[in-house]
Structure 1
Amino acid sequence: MNSFNNFNLDTEILKSLDILDYKIPSQVQSRVIPILIDKKDILVKSKTGTGKSAAFAIPICNKIKKLENKLKALVIVPTRELALQVKEEIEKIGRLKMIKCSVILGKEPLKNQILELKQGTNVIVATPGRMIDHLSRGSVDLGDLDYFIIDEVDKMFTKGFETDINTIMKNIPNTSCKAFFSATVDNDLKEICNGYMKDYEYIEVDEEEILKNQIEEKYIKVEKQELKYDVLKNVLYKFKPETTIIFTNTKKQAEVLYENMKSEGFLVEQIHGDISQERRFYIIDSFKKHEFNILISSDIISRGIHIDDVSLVINYDIPSDSEIYVHRIGRTGRAGKRGKAISLVSNNECRDFENIEVYTKNKIEVIDIEYCEKDKIEYQKTIKELLNKYALLENQEQDEFKGEVVKIHISIGKKKKIRIGDIVGALSNIDGLENSDLGVIKIYDNYSTVDILNQKGKKFLNDYKEIIVKNKKAKIREEK
């Protein structure tokens, strides 16, 4: 299908997709959305970067009724980073429909998660272990579940999650639609899926052709590993990419490369397994906001992380696993955009690179790169201008919904025994605001947030600096 209008979606969902600039469904979306709308079980082979998160998020959000206060969908993912990404996608698509999505992760206080779940949620995105914790405590009721999704199901069963998945599956109602997504599908995985789903449709999206069309792949022959750093700089100065991800095979190599580039004034950050989860989230968020333009990474983000508009991927080291190569270059050329991937191949990496060409069925062109001092000066000027431009855009426009929805901050929360009904009552008494203008409400310990819909948020903030909630004065402002 060449339009989301052909899927018979709710008006609010279509409006959100238009605001988010989702114009033409990707191949995986065209094939998956109609099946999930009909609540049929599926196994989907589709690599990252093809729009698969939206492929299940759109039917989920479409199925949930406005103001419904039941858990209707559970999405299980293998990593914290992917969980947060999927939650963001669901919240954006379901925002005008007031869909509430909770993320349930390990290494975070169970008590806070239980309190959030008690407020009501429509969708849970969770890692397996923490989901089992909640099921064992009875803090999650799956009785009304319409959809059960596992993303990166191949990774689940190669990383030791099979027992956890079996435990979760025992709690899934027979009436729930099940959809499993995987970058790779072999006979073993099909056998496992046969045990979970009696009748399911298998969909295989031809991403190899998509990658060939969207990603320009080249490689540079480098005699020795120690010469790669100079070649790397040549590539950056010559191509002048707006944003670059550089992949290394080891944490140590990432650290060395980071220190070298930092000392030469490149706007660079590093991310690998020794970086804390919180720091990783901060770095990825900063990269998305264009606060720096080069990210050095081990394979920790080669898979499952959605970063828009990556101009160039550089394989500083060649992976011995060809599948990792495909995941790496899939960080660019996303959502129908063009991208470039350049590999630096030393003599002792030639065999691995030849295996990659066989695996991808693609003869990759070799190139030579030379630059002059003028290229270096132009690169530095270009990056400075780009960062200034994005800083201005960030200050001017914080929200893709462009005033259609404004999130407000209310300076009162759980510690004052405030409930969602108290917030609704307070805002419903405001002239010009009706219940239909109130979106997702979340209450935290010391504050609350509310989405004001229908372009009424700005006027409300201009007219009011505080409101009365449960006989208590509360200051209000726009949530940043």
Structure 2
Amino acid sequence: MTLSFADLGLSEPQAQHLDGLGFKEPTPIQSQAIPHMLAGHDVVGLAQTGTGKTAAFSLPILEQINVNKRAVQALVLTPTRELAMQVCQAVQGLKQNSQLQVLPVYGGQAIERQLSQLQRGVHMVVGTPGRVLDLLNRGSLELDQLSWLVLDEADEMLNMGFIQDVETILNHAPADRQTAFFSATMEPAIRELAAKFLKSPVTVKVKAQNTAPLRITQLAYVVPPGWSKPRALMPILEMEDPESAIIFVRTRRTAAELTRQLQFSGHSVDEYHGDLNQPQRERLLLRFKQGQVRWVVATDIAARGIHVDNLTHVINYELPDNVDSYVHRIGRTGRAGQEGRAVSIVHPLEKYQLRQVERHIQQEIAFCKVPTQAEIAARSLEKLQTQIKEAVTSERLASFLPIVSQLTAEYDPHTVAAAALQMAYDQTRPVWMRGDNEDQPYFAEEEPNRQRSQRARRRRIQSPVSKSMF
């Protein structure tokens, strides 16, 4: 039997509001967590990104907040500014009472504005530990009326070193509050924190939390021996042709370097990492969501706040440290019932890491060779043929018919059409493919063999593969 939001204990007005937003049925984590939170139990929720956990903890809170009391009654802690903004936006959309005030607080934003809004009175605060602690120390954020405290992505918060700040905030809150921890994994530090600050918590989790959604196609391109990943990346991107993608790397430096290389090759791409200030991050997120930027090169921590509808690809330019991070990364695509592709780029020595992933998630990852120029050219011709079929029905076609009539009076119609196709194809063909040997997937001028092999050996020495990564 399928449950409705009303069956979980939410009021009829709230259930109708959710129905109007398109939320017909609760997700598994919502079905399990909402009744316990409405009943006043402390909760530990284990769920990956994209499972609906924000609604799982916010809907019970929104149901019970007293809008007539102008005091902070709920506090949600998040590890990053981006996630704080995302949670705040989600809550704004879920609430049915316009009088309910939600305030995001995080560093990088003028604190005066936050102080002013707190002084006017808000019901719910969503923020990062550092800024929340700052406001507490100033005496501007008062928690004496707090009834609910939520740690969202608790595992990441502790991994980022916020444990002391989090404990300080928890100690500031009233003892009779209701507390919930939501996390992708149940690490020992989470267990210790829950045992210390939660009262007889109920643990809820979605089934098969360590598996990747079946609607995500997973594949890995193996970089030939002696090659660098940048050299292999370009033909892979040409073959995959992502409409929108997050390209994951390990460090800010790699993000900046790879972004420069891709921009130089004419791609619509930008970088997203911890060195960007808050206005820069917000502008990039807006451009990415609006489709003005197709691809974003991001580090794991910075990308916690990136959630874009219709993301077609997740590309692991560098593999993450563990399997859970792999599942978390690729779960950003293939959401809301849509198809997605998760592409990893690995050296031969890194293949064993993906074999461990396969065993863990009990799903197969297809291993592929880096595509050749001939393969990419064939793919480009297929796309061109599709575009021509669409153009045949275009209203603009009529304006070109007089030119066609003039040319076909002098040349065979097939020859005219083939010439037009050749021009269109040559204009869209990447510069790195304009060589003579289409069996080679090169995208840049190659170094002399000896020099290239020496550099490849140095790279392998300087960047050893860690056998403890997974």
- TM-score norm. by structure 1 comes to 0.73
Deviation at 1:167, TM superposition (A): 1.7
SS at match of 2:213: helix
The question of whether the paired residues in 2 share the 8 Å contact of 1:50 and 1:334 is answered with no
Query: What is the CA deviation profile of residues 141-170 of structure 1, one whole-angstrom value per residue up to 9, with x for unaligned ones?
Result: 323222110112222333332222222122
Say which SS state the counterpart of residue 217 (structure 1) adopts: strand
Relative to structure 1, the CA distance from residue 230 to residue 22 in structure 2 (aligned partners, 3 Å threshold; closer, same or farther) is: farther
Tell me, yes or no, if structure 1 residue 177 matches structure 2 residue 181: no
Alpha-carbon distance, 1:181 to partner: 0.8
- Conservation of the 8 A alpha-carbon contact between 2:212 and 2:361: no
Offset, 1:265: 2.3
Distance 2:53 2:27 in 1: 9
CA distance change for structure 1 residues 3 and 127 in 2, over 3 Å: closer, same or farther?
same
What's the offset of the Cα at 1:12? 4.3
- Give the corresponding residue for 1:376: 380
The list of structure 1 runs, each at least 4 consecutive aligned residues, that deviate by more than 6 angstroms after superposition, is 380-383
- Whole-angstrom distance in 2 between the partners of 1:90 and 1:212: 26
Q: Determine if the alignment matches structure 1 residue 213 to structure 2 residue 214.
A: yes
Q: TM-score, normalised by structure 2?
A: 0.74
Aligned 8 A contact 2:70 2:121 in 1: yes
**1:363-401 deviations in Å (ceiling 9; x for gaps):** 322234563435336669999xxxxxxxxxxxxxxxxxx
Instruction: Please tell me the residue identity of whatever aligns with 1:258.
Output: T
Residue range with higher mean Cα deviation, 124-133 or 183-192: 183-192
**1 or 2, which has the higher strand percentage?**
1
Q: Distance in 1 between matches of 2:106 and 2:167?
A: 19
Secondary structure of the corresponding residue to residue 213 of structure 1: coil
**Percent identical residues:** 33
CA distance in 2, matches of 1:225, 1:336: 40
**Conserved in 1, the CA contact under 8 Å of 2:217 and 2:341?**
yes
1:69 corresponding residue in structure 2? 70
Q: In the alignment, residue 290 of structure 1 is paired with which amino acid?
A: G
Q: For 1:348, what is the secondary structure of its paired residue?
A: helix
- Map 1:62-461 onto structure 2 (within 5 A): 62-208=63-209, 211-224=212-225, 226=227, 228-229=229-230, 231-368=232-369, 369=371, 371-373=375-377, 375-376=379-380
For 2:302 and 2:226, how far apart are their aligned partners in 1?
23
Give CA-to-partner distance per residue, 1:351-372, whole Å, 9 cap, x none. 3333333443433222345634
Shift of residue 67, structure 1, vs aligned partner: 5.0
* C-alpha spacing 1:320/1:114, structure 2 compared with 1 (3 Å): closer
Q: Distance in 2 between matches of 1:98 and 1:130?
A: 25
Q: Aligned partners of 1:322 and 1:59: how far apart in 2?
A: 32
User: What secondary structure sits across from 2:155 in the alignment?
Assistant: helix
Contact preservation (8 Å) 2:247, 2:297: yes
Q: Determine if contact 2:44/2:182 at 8 Å carries over to the other structure.
A: yes
> What's the CA shift for 1:279?
1.1
- Taking the TM superposition and a 5 Å limit, the aligned residue runs for 1:7-22 are 7-22=8-23
Counterparts in 2 of 1:381 and 1:249: CA distance versus 1, 3 Å: farther
Specify the alignment match of 2:468 in structure 1: none
> For 1:53, what is the secondary structure of its paired residue?
helix
Task: Go from structure 1 to structure 2 and tell me whether the alpha carbon gap of 1:216 and 1:112 turns closer, same or farther (over 3 Å shift).
Answer: same
Task: Identify which range, 116-125 or 212-221, moves more after superposition.
Answer: 212-221
Q: Which deviations, in whole Å up to 9, do the C-alpha atoms of 1:78-115 show, x marking residues without a partner?
A: 21111111111111111544321011112433332221
- SS in structure 1 opposite 2:169? helix
Whichever residue aligns with residue 165 of structure 1, its letter is V
Q: 1:224 to 1:58 in 2, by over 3 A?
A: farther
Q: Deviations over 1:390-434 (max 9, x none)?
A: xxxxxxxxxxxxxxxxxxxxxxxxxxxxxxxxxxxxxxxxxxxxx
- Report the more deviating stretch, 307-316 or 267-276: 267-276
Kindly indicate whether the alpha-carbon contact (under 8 Å) linking 1:50 and 1:207 is maintained by their aligned counterparts in 2.
no
Residue 239 of structure 1, CA deviation: 4.2
The answer (yes or no) to whether the contact 1:48–1:303 under 8 Å persists in 2 is: no
Cα distance change of structure 1 residues 28 and 379 upon mapping to structure 2, 3 Å threshold? farther
Cα distance in structure 1, aligned partners of 2:58 and 2:205: 19
Cα gap change, 1:282 to 1:15, in 2 (>3 Å) = farther
Do the aligned partners of residues 382 and 51 (structure 1) sit closer, same or farther apart at CA in structure 2, a change above 3 Å counting? farther
SS at match of 2:7: helix
> Contact between 2:48 and 2:183, CA under 8 Å: does it hold in 1?
yes
Unmatched 5+ residue regions in structure 2? 388-470
- Partners of 2:97 and 2:381 lie apart in 1 by 46
User: SS in structure 2 opposite 1:355?
Assistant: helix
Counterpart residue identity of residue 376, structure 1: S
Report if the CA contact (8 A) 1:249-1:299 is conserved.
Answer: yes
Q: 1:278-304: CA deviations, max 9, x gaps? A: 212211221111112211222234435
Q: 1:381 to 1:191 in 2, by over 3 A?
A: farther
Letter in 1 for 2:191: K
Residues 240 and 382, structure 1, Cα contact 8 Å, conserved in 2: no
